[in-house]
Amino acid sequence: MSQIVGNPTVEPAEPDDRAATTSFTDYLRALLRDKVTAVAALFLLILLVAAAGAEFLAPHDPNAANLRARFIPPLGTARDGTFYLFGTDELGRDVLSRLMHGATVSMSIGLLGAICSAIVGVSLGILAGFYRGKLEIVLMRAVDGMMALPSLLIALFILFVIGSGFANLIFIFTLLHWMIFARMARSLTLSYKEQTYVTAARAVGASDLRIILTHILPNMISPLLVLFTLEIAVLILSEASLSFLGFGVQPPRASWGLMIARGREYISSAWWLVVMPGAAIFLAALCLNLVAAWARAISDPVQRWRWLTKPSTEKDAT
């Protein structure tokens, strides 16, 4: 060593008034400041609670027909004095109770379907993007091929062969929806793989598995979360259309799509039979979209910080 360069003083420490960790209440407070997202999140929460506890929370038995209380409009009262918040249908069944039980079906199919397709799609996509070669060619051509298929028609066909049912529906949805996750995961892997931090991780001796799990996957969470939330909405809609066509959930079980299908005949005389489940589907999809944008913001460290501290800077400005 010939001589020492420069002065070995350290760079001055930057003032750090931010807390090193962010607690749950910080997130909650920030969520409450964002009014639209807060309402959407609240609605989804209510929907989840209603779906999870439909068995206990529903005011009536969803399948109990009462022919003396048919077509009672929302906020109406039957002759025996029973109050119906969302009215009753053509068999005198309580629409609210059926909506709640339908939420169980829709939410669980939406969530499970999205989880299964995400797991299948993301793992195949990462493998294709990371290892390239023949695997990638085969997988991606399979994706292209499957994307070209008319999904509703295929779903109808397969359900016709294997029969409808909850597990079968999840299977169909995974089969028809993994491709979009695979495509996204592959393209993200391709770009992350070339990042210097992946090379740097290799340089400290990280294994392929470790690189995939700790360096590629976490960076994907943010865009994937958006896709995931949107996919839940798409699946809820798909389930509704399949049930509407009579191939999804079978009566007497309630499902939003099925309720619309049944109510369609009475749309001129009993609008609420279509409007109530229709509104449920619309609001669920809308709220999921709104929450998706928020989920993206908080899963990205850079944006999370801005989002958490946004109001204080606004206050400073005024």
4 contacts other proteins (rule: CB under 8 A): yes
Supply the minimum distance, in Å, between the C-beta of residue 13 and other proteins: 4
**Minimum distance between the CB of residue 5 and other proteins, rounded to whole angstroms?**
5
Do 245 and 68 contact (CB within 8 A), yes or no?
A: no
As a whole number of angstroms, the distance between CA 245 and CA 232 comes to 20
Neighbours of 212 (CB within 10 A): 20
Minimum distance of other proteins from residue 146's CB (angstroms): 29
Q: Does 6 bind other proteins (CB under 8 A)?
A: yes
- Choose between 25 and 318: whose C-beta lies nearer to other proteins: 25
Binding residue (CB under 8 A) for other proteins from 218, 251, 252, 311: 218
Q: For residue 250, is it left (φ>0), alpha (ψ between -120 and 50) or beta?
A: beta
**9 belongs to the binding site for other proteins (CB under 8 A):** yes
Size of the site for other proteins (CB under 8 A): 39
Rounded-to-integer distance, Cα 255 and Cα 240, Å: 7
Note every long-range contact of 14-21, with CB atoms under 8 Å and residues 24 or more positions apart, other chains counting: 18/309
Name residue 88's beta-bridge partners: 94
Question: Residue 167 to residues 35, 176, 198, 228, 233: CA-CA distances in angstroms?
Answer: 37, 14, 39, 20, 19
Distance between CA atoms of residues 61 and 285, nearest Å: 26
31 binds other proteins (CB under 8 A): no
8 touches other proteins by CB under 8 A:
yes
| 25 lies in the binding site for other proteins (CB under 8 A) | no
Q: Does 13 bind other proteins (CB under 8 A)?
A: yes
Q: In this chain, which of 32, 210, 286, 314 binds other proteins, going by CB under 8 A? A: 210
CB of 304 to other proteins, least distance (A): 9
Cβ atoms of 147 and 179 within 8 Å: the answer is yes
Query: Please, is 206 exposed, middle or buried when counting C-beta atoms within 10 Å of its C-beta (0-12, 13-18, 19+)?
Result: middle
Q: What angle do CA 282, 287, 293 make, to 5 degrees?
A: 135
- Identity of the residue, 157 or 197, whose beta carbon is nearer to other proteins in the bound complex: 197
Nearer to other proteins among residue 81 and residue 301 (C-beta): 301
The C-alpha atoms of residue 72 and residue 58 are separated, in whole angstroms, by: 18
Does 7 participate in binding other proteins (rule CB under 8 A)? yes
Residue 187 carries which side chain, given as an amino acid letter? S
Q: Which stretch binds other proteins (CB under 8 A): 108-116, 147-155, 202-210, 268-276?
A: 202-210
**Is the dihedral angle over the CA atoms 239, 244, 248, 253 positive or is it negative?**
positive
Q: Could you say which of 191, 199, 250, 309 contacts other proteins (CB under 8 A)?
A: 199
Assess 150 for contact with other proteins (CB under 8 A): no
Site string for other proteins, 220-239 (x = CB under 8 A): -x------------------
Nearer to other proteins, 153 or 204 (CB): 204
Q: Which single residue is written with the structure tokens 């009579």? A: 246
200 binds other proteins (CB under 8 A): yes
Q: Using CB under 8 A as the criterion, which residues of the chain lie in contact with other proteins when the complex forms? A: 1-14, 16, 20-21, 195-197, 199-207, 210, 214-215, 218-219, 221, 300-302, 305
